[in-house]
Structures are given as structure tokens and as C-alpha cells.
Chain A
Amino acid sequence: MKTILYIIQKEFKQIFRNKGMLPIIFVLPLLQLVILSNAATFEVKNIKFGYIDKDHSSTSRALVEKFNASTYFNVLTDFPSEAIASAEMLKGEIDVLLQIPQYFERDLQIEKYANLGITINAIDGAAAGVENVYVNQIIQRFNQNIKMDVLQVSDKQVQPIAVETIPLFWYNKTLNYKTFMVPGILVLLVTMITLFLSGMNIVREKEIGTLEQINVTPIKKSQFIIGKLFPFWVIGMGLLTIGLILAKVIFDVPMLGSLTLLYFYTSIYILVILGIGLFISNFTDTQQQAMFIAWFFTVIFILMSGLFTPIESMPKWAQTLTEFNPIRYFVEVMRMVMLKGSGFNDILPQLLKTALYAFVMNGLAVWSYKKTT
């Protein structure tokens, strides 16, 4: 026990003396939280909207006006020809192109039917999907008005039966994207810093030769590892605390569940990450190698965590893979506890899987750490 304290003391001294590392530990993650939470949004706004109006009627102008009135669209220009409009889309100057054919108004009134052409730049498929929905909503609403107008003058008995859906958004009533993202970004921050620091720490001692000096002392493997990893566990918990405070103060993210539960889960989660970090440093000889491997896994873990893209929309095999992704569980728990107020029993599956993961990873790490080669 005393031995462990000596190591912990030494580690903390070294961490706080490392002037290059301190800002990385404490300032960068917070910048990350503030910047990413504001920037990583799937809301599609400021859609560049162009149109070709061949009808030049009051109805066609009213339709364009509908788009103009929407906050999502920046109505640009009336293009004289399709060729010019296509060229503009190729250059990325417009996202959505609406083509209103000739006799649009006449067809609507006489045939009660008219075609509209919509072209959407779908390089970003997700954004294109959202744009499509917006465009359809506007056109449908416009359609309703037209029907009313037409009906007033014709047969009153054929009343349209309008079926309207009123969506209710639970847990994030205003669909505030930040409420959704901040807990996730907080996960990233805690994970990346603890993984990189722990992964590079032991390998650094290998590089400078002090690990050999440690290996000739009678220190036990477990003592050394606990002493080495404990400081990073503390840093991880510290980052969570700072992150939660910022989430509340800057983003006003709700905290419906129990803070104690969140801390309890995180305390186990960090063990997983530290185990992975140690495992990496056992198999590498330089900090660069360790960093590279840690980075590789972080990117995969993040992209497959459900943080940015929902796990439900991944292919089956990918969904199975995410079962092995610790970040996935942390993201889930974080969102469940903070936004839904989930309790101990709700997060029990995640908690058990994480605990098992921690046990396996640290077992592997201790096993693969060799004092004698």
C-alpha cells in the first residue's frame, strides 16, 4: 500500500510539472466541448435555394414566396435556364433547385393537377434527406391552401379530410441539438484524454529507460499498475466534473437523473479505458506507436458509438460490433441519465457490460505487463 502511495505521489508531481501536457489535459478538452457542441449539429439551415419559374403566374410567385418565408431556405435567384442552374449546382452555389413548368397555374386550376421539378444536391445524403422533407412540407402546405381556394369555387360537398399529425417530442422537447450532443461530447473528452495519457505514460518510461530501473526493484506488478493508473483515473473524474459544470452553465443541459449514478458508472468506465491504454503501452516501444494505435481505436470507437450516427441505422454486423465498443455504453448511459433521468435498473445492462469489459481489459493488461522478458 505504501509503495503505491510513493508511485501516485511521483506521478502527480510529474503530471503537474509537465508544462506542455497540462494545457492539453485541461484546456483543450474544454475548448472541444464548447466548440464541438456548437458546431456538431445535424440541423440543416441556410439551404441555398434556386428556382426556374417558367410560369410567371401569381400561383408560382406565391409558391416561391412560401420558400422565401421559411427560415431554412435562402432564396437566391430565378435562373433563366436549366443549363445555368445545373452549372451553379455543380459549383455548389445552390443546394435545392425548384422547377416550375409553364401553365403551372392553369393546370392546377383546370386539371387540378400539376408537376413540379425538385433537384437536390445529394452529396451529403443526410442533409439531402432533411432538405427533401422541408421542401415537401412547404409544398404540401401550399397545396392545402390551393385546394381550399379551388374548393371554395367548386363543389362544397367534397370536403377534403385533412389528417394532421401533431408530433410530441419527449426528453428533448425543443429538439435542441446541443442537449443531445453535449453529453456525448463529454464522453469523448473523458475518453480521449484518459486513453492517450495512460497509453503514453508507461511507454514513456520505457523510452527514457526508467521502466527497466523499476523492473529491477521488488515492486509488484499490481502495485506499479495501480499506482500508475490511479492519477489518470482521478484526472478522468475531474474532467467529467468540469465538463458537467460547463454543460450546465453554458448549455443549460438538463440533469434529470442522479449525479451519483453517473459518477459511479464513470468510475467503472474509466477503468476500461485505462486498461486499454495500459494494454497498448505494453505492446509498443515508443510514444508515437502508442499514440497511433490509441488514435486508431478512438476513431473507430467514436464513429461506431452512436454519438453522431444512430446505431439503429447501422447494418446488423456493425451493430454487433458496437457491442464491443465501450464508448457506446458511456454515450448511452450519459444520455439516459442526464436527459431521461434513468435510474440504476435502467442502466444495469450497460453497467454490467462495462464492468465485465473493465475486468477483462485490466486482466489482459496486467497479464501482458512483464517485469521479466
Chain B
Amino acid sequence: MNNNNVIEAQNLTKMFGDFTAVSAISFEVKKGEIFGFLGANGAGKTTAMKMLIGISKPTAGKASVAGFDVYKQAEDIKKNIGYMSQKFALYDDLTVKENIMFFGGIYGVSRKRIKEKTAILIEELGLEEVANQLVGALPLGWKQKLSFSVSLIHDPKIVFLDEPTGGVDPITRRQFWEMIYKAANQGTTVFVTTHYMDEAEYCDRVSIMVNGKIEALDTPKKLKQQFNVTNMNDVFLKLARG
């Protein structure tokens, strides 16, 4: 395995009965990269991601994440990754601080380190005033930023973001991407799914999934050249329409 690759997938396949959700996809993600995983709703993005984060067993193919095999070492993978799901998944009935404390705690981060991290996070996110309020009462944009920060609490090598900006206003989306860049600059690999094509432009490389297959994989610039269009939206439309 190439030491520079933190994610490697070869012919990774997932079938649900007769239905092939992910069909023999192959790709690599380099360390420190922001890798965009694009596709329409139902193209198989989330299913593919669930195999990589070790909560769904592949039907066939090979894959390794952070140097660990997805079949045999799923629990080792989990130590090295952060994950933010499509659905908001912090506890609404715990406060901002309690959520950070809980997730830090179950990742085995020391109490002292959690305290430090909490202070930094709350300041960065500007959540000082609501730090002791229940998360359920926060606006969606704040919740999303908080859950991204929580997914980084244990300083993972790779962070998986599943449509992190769904339903969020443009300003918050902008801020969100600034946070992603910051994490990437600190050496964290970012694997992000989205169907906002303007966000695809922010990625180092993107793959586009159509009906369970990766139909295109390159930098946004090269993809635009290849399809002879001016923006990623048109690349996507050309691919998705076949």
C-alpha cells in the first residue's frame, strides 16, 4: 500500500438482496486531501461511506482506511476516524458542553484534554452564551458546526462528512467550508459527500457516482476540461443524464 494513501478501495461492492447499491468502486484518497464524493440522491454515496467507516460490511471488494482493513479491523478504523452523519446525531437533551464531554469521553480522550478542547471549540464556534443550553434548542446551522467539531474531538486522521451542509443557509455553508479547510490544513483528511455542485469546486479531487458506479474521478479543473464545460454543475448534469 502506498503510504500516502489513507483510503484505498478496490472493486468495493454492496448489495441488498438483488439490488446493487454500490457497484465495484475503486479509488484512493491521499493524506490531507479534501475528497469530494458526489452523486445524486440514491446514487450510493452514503452506503459507500458506511462501508468505509466500518458500520456496514461490504459484499465484495477490498478497502482499507487509515491502513486498516474494513473487514477485519473495523474497530481500529473507528479509533482513527471522525464521522458526521446526514442526520443530526448529537443528543438534543444534553447541553453543548455535555455533548462534547460525552463524545470525547467515549473516544477515550482524557478529562483534562476534553476540558481544554471544549474551551477552544466553544470559543471558535462562538457558542459561549449557549454552552450550557440544550443542543435541541440551537438553530440547525449551529448544530451542524457543533457536530463537525465534535467529530474532530479525538483528532482523527480522517473525517467523514455525509452531506454536512444539507438545509443550511449560504453564510453558514461558507463558514462550514472554512472549518473544513482549517481541519485539512492541520493534516486531517476530509472525505465529504455533497450534492451541492458549488461545494465540489472547493474540493481537491472529486468523484461522481451515478447509479452505484463512479463515473468520473479527478480534480474539478480537469473534469471541467474533460467535459468541456465551465462549472461542476454542468459536469454533473452531463454525467447524471448519461
Contact = CB atoms under 8 A, between A and B. Distances in A.
Interface string A22-59: 00000000000000000000000000000000000000
B95 to A, nearest CB: 9
Interface stretch (B5-13, B27-35, B50-58, B189-197): B50-58
A6 B106 contact: yes
Nearest to A211: B89
Contact of A3 (B57, B87, B105): B105
A85 to B, nearest CB: 64
A216 B90 contact: no
A10 B104 CA distance: 12
B213 interface: no
Nearest to B55: A215
Interface in A180-235: 208-210, 212-219
A157 interface: no
Interface in B44-100: 53-57, 74-76, 78-79, 81, 83, 85, 87-94, 98
Given A7-B106, A210-B91, A372-B56, A218 B85 contact: no
A6 B79 CA distance: 17
A116 B35 CA distance: 96
A208 B102 contact: no
Nearest to B102: A10
B74 A10 contact: no
B42 interface: no
B57 A372 contact: yes
Given A7-B106, A219-B106, A372-B56, A213 B89 contact: yes
B12 to A, nearest CB: 15
Interface in B108-147: 108, 134
Given A13-B94, A208-B92, A209-B87, A373 B106 contact: no
Most buried by B among A6, A17, A219, A373: A6
Contacts of A215: 55
A209 B89 contact: yes
A216 B106 contact: no
28 contacts: A2-B108, A3-B106, A6-B101, A6-B102, A7-B106, A13-B93, A13-B98, A14-B93, A17-B93, A208-B89, A208-B92, A209-B85, A209-B89, A212-B55, A212-B89, A213-B83, A213-B85, A213-B103, A216-B53, A216-B54, A216-B55, A216-B78, A216-B83, A217-B106, A218-B75, A218-B78, A218-B107, A372-B55
Given A214-B106, A216-B81, 5 more contacts: A7-B102, A9-B102, A208-B89, A218-B75, A373-B56
- Smallest CB-CB A-B distances: 9 pairs: A6-B105, A213-B89, A209-B87, A216-B83, A218-B78, A218-B79, A209-B89, A215-B55, A210-B89
